[in-house]
């Protein structure tokens, strides 16, 4: 059987027709291929590019719920204002920096400053007179009034002194004042606002370090039983007197 014979003109056109048909089919398939490449799969999560960006900032117009949702998606919260790693509070230790001022014990009372010597003599003369009222003008007034008790200042310091004495006229307390002023003095806190001369010097010295002559001086003021109690307490705690370098009577108190 003889095959179908095409005209020669048609045979020469067949390659051109085949090429045109292939190009047409290829162009018609391009939209579908592009869609397949760009369309995300239904089960894949959507990536938030803004959340992953280090420069991303919260939307100022967003609601609170939207901001919370953005935080969950990875927006970093701003750092605190305080760097806790470097937040170290340094408390200055004034006591550690302040040099210790040694106490000076003055056994030769003629070496006391002139204002201190003058007030000491006046106190001795007033106490020896037996008239406690002679102490009043030496006590000062207002903020400079002599402290005679621990706590609030009494309205009448002389009446308060009488109440401390074993007799109604205050002569026992004047005898104690005389005995204390007969001992050596201790110069404490020299050059500071608390600079003063203190009697008896036992008040600024360890009782266990007293020499035999110094112990005799102490027994002139208190009994052996009192000394034993003081050692148990840790220091001298009987009456003591303080005078400032400018000759003001600062205190006359008992206790620590």
Q: Where are the domains of the chain?
A: 106-253
User: Lowest-pLDDT range, 58-67, 110-119, 210-219?
Assistant: 58-67
Three-class secondary structure of residue 243 per DSSP: strand
- Is residue 235 within 8 A of residue 186, CB to CB? The reply is no
Looking at per-residue pLDDT, the higher value among 75 and 165 belongs to: 165
Dump pLDDT digits (tens) for 37-81.
444 455 555 445 444 444 555 555 656 666 556 555 554 444 433
C-beta of residue 238 within 8 angstroms of C-beta of residue 218: no
- Residue 246's contacts (CB-CB under 8 Å, 6 or more residues apart) are 115
Mean pLDDT score, 216-222: 94
Using DSSP, state whether 30 is helix, strand or coil. helix
Element (H, E) at 186: strand 185-188
Render 153-172 in DSSP notation, one character per residue. PPS-HHHHHHHHSSSTTSHH
Find the mean pLDDT for residues 34-38: 43
Please write the tens of the pLDDT for every residue from 167-204. 999 999 999 999 999 999 999 999 999 999 999 999 99
Phi, psi of 243 (to 5 degrees): -130, 130
Q: Which among 81, 112, 101 has a CA at the least distance from the CA of 181? A: 112
Amino acid 98: pLDDT: 58
Most confident of 63-72, 86-95, 238-247: 238-247
């Amino acid at each position: 059987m003889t095959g179908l014979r095409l005209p020669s003109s048609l045979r020469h056109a067949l390659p051109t027709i085949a090429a045109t048909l292939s190009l047409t089919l290829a162009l018609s398939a391009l939209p579908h291929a592009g869609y397949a490449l760009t369309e995300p799969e239904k089960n894949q999560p959507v990536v938030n590019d803004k959340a992953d960006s280090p420069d991303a900032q919260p939307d100022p117009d967003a609601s609170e719920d939207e901001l919370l949702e953005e935080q969950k998606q990875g927006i970093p919260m701003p750092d605190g204002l305080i760097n806790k790693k470097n937040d170290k509070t340094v408390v200055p230790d004034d006591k550690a920096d302040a040099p210790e001022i040694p106490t000076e014990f003055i056994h030769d009372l003629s070496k006391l400053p002139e204002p201190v010597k003058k007030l000491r003599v006046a106190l001795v003369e007033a106490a020896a007179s037996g008239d406690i009222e002679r102490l009043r003008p030496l006590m000062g007034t207002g903020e400079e009034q002599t402290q005679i008790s621990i706590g609030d200042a009494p309205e009448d310091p002389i009446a308060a002194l009488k109440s401390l004495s074993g007799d109604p006229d205050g002569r026992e307390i004047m005898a104690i004042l005389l005995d204390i002023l007969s001992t050596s003095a201790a110069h404490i806190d020299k050059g500071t606002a608390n600079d003063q001369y203190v009697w008896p010097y036992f008040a600024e010295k360890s009782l266990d370090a007293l020499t035999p002559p110094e112990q005799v001086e102490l027994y002139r003021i208190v009994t052996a039983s009192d000394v034993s109690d003081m050692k148990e307490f840790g220091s001298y705690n009987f009456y003591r007197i303080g005078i400032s370098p400018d000759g003001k009577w600062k205190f006359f108190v008992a206790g620590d």
